[in-house]
Amino acid sequence: MTKVPTKSAAQITAMREGGAKLVEVLKSVVELVRVGVSLTELDQLAFSRIKELGAQPSFLGYQDYPATLCTSVNNGIVHCIPNSYQLQEGDLLSIDCGLIWKGMHTDSAVSVIVGRDIHGYQPLLTAVYRALLAGTAEVAAGVTVGRISRAIEESLSLGNLTIMRQFVGHGVGEKLHEAPIIPNVVGHDKDVWLPSGSVVAIEPIAGTGGEAHGTDPDGWCARTLDGAPVAHFEHTVLVTEVGGEVLTPLDSIIQFRP
């Protein structure tokens, strides 16, 4: 049976503080998003803000990943390296970021539309964010991973979306990726229960087309083969006896209401 690590009181305090810092970083990055801004500029801002806050980037150097952010545009699913691409009107941009504060990682992601929604992507964003909230609402001590996965799966199914099931949530803390695996469909680790004091990153990822995907020559960026758009939202959530405490709340960042 998968063993889910728990955090000490000091580690939980560090993750609360780190989560607040991560939200500040994401908010700064989202405020810079506009037509003509390059993905590299967004990444440079994220790195600078993390350093200003006294923290360290989680992604930079992780398994040789070369950037602070993952910036996935339109049919990009996850793990896309920022480059010189300049954002265009109506692009769907998913921004994933993690930071280390006092030895503890927090991890969060948000999807936004660049400028006007000329491609009609808003329903996709709204549905994926609702799935994040649905999964988070199930979190409490003693709850199984399968219950969280089911809530996400059912929520995404209501929107007739394709779940990118190969990409999953995870535990987080001393390491960026810890046990358990948190799938967006009922499957792996479904019978594993979450103890009070554990921390998980819940991250629904879904699109409007097919599930088939490939990887860019850089070995990192996953994209849908049919070019259909994908959205991605993520919270770091502390498991408590009375429910889940979101350590990276996106309320001040998202540009819509679910």
Q: What is the pLDDT along the chain (258 residues), one digit of tens a residue?
A: 789 999 999 999 999 999 999 999 999 999 999 999 999 999 999 999 999 999 999 999 999 999 999 999 999 999 999 999 999 999 999 999 999 999 999 999 999 999 999 999 999 999 999 999 999 999 999 999 999 999 999 999 998 999 999 999 999 999 999 999 999 999 989 999 999 999 999 999 999 999 999 999 999 999 999 999 999 999 999 999 999 999 999 998 997 878
In a domain, 254, yes or no: no
Annotated binding site for a divalent metal cation: 96, 107, 170, 203, 234
What's the confidence (pLDDT) of residue 258? 80
In a domain, 43, yes or no: yes
Structural domain count of the chain = 1
What CATH code is carried by the domain that includes residue 43?
A: 3.90.230.10
Name the β-bridge partners of 236.
201
Annotated binding site: 79, 96, 107, 170, 177, 203, 234
Under a CB-based contact definition with an 8 Å cutoff, are residues 207 and 229 in contact? yes
What's the confidence (pLDDT) of residue 13? 98
In a domain, 71, yes or no: yes
Tokens of 13: 């305090």
Count H helices, E strands: the chain? 4, 15
> Which residue range(s) make up the domain with 40?
9-246
Run of H or E residues at 109:
strand 104-113
In a domain, 69, yes or no: yes
What's the confidence (pLDDT) of residue 128? 98
In a domain, 251, yes or no: no
Kindly provide the b/e burial profile for residues 151-178, where b requires at least 16 CB atoms within 10 angstroms of the residue's own CB: bbbebbeebebbbbbebbbbbbbeebbb
What's the confidence (pLDDT) of residue 25? 98
What's the confidence (pLDDT) of residue 115? 97
Annotated binding site for substrate: 79, 177
What's the confidence (pLDDT) of residue 185? 97
Under a CB-based contact definition with an 8 Å cutoff, are residues 82 and 71 in contact? yes
In a domain, 253, yes or no: no
In a domain, 77, yes or no: yes
CA-based nearest residue to 209, from 159, 157, 161, 167:
161
d(CA 36, CA 58): 27
Secondary structure class of 71 (helix, strand, coil):
strand
Query: How many CA atoms does the CB half-sphere of 75 hold within 13 Å?
Result: 14
Radius of gyration of the CA atoms of the chain, in A: 17
Q: Dihedral of CA 145/148/154/158: which sign?
A: negative
What's the confidence (pLDDT) of residue 235? 96
Torsion of CA 112, 116, 122, 128, to 10 degrees: -10
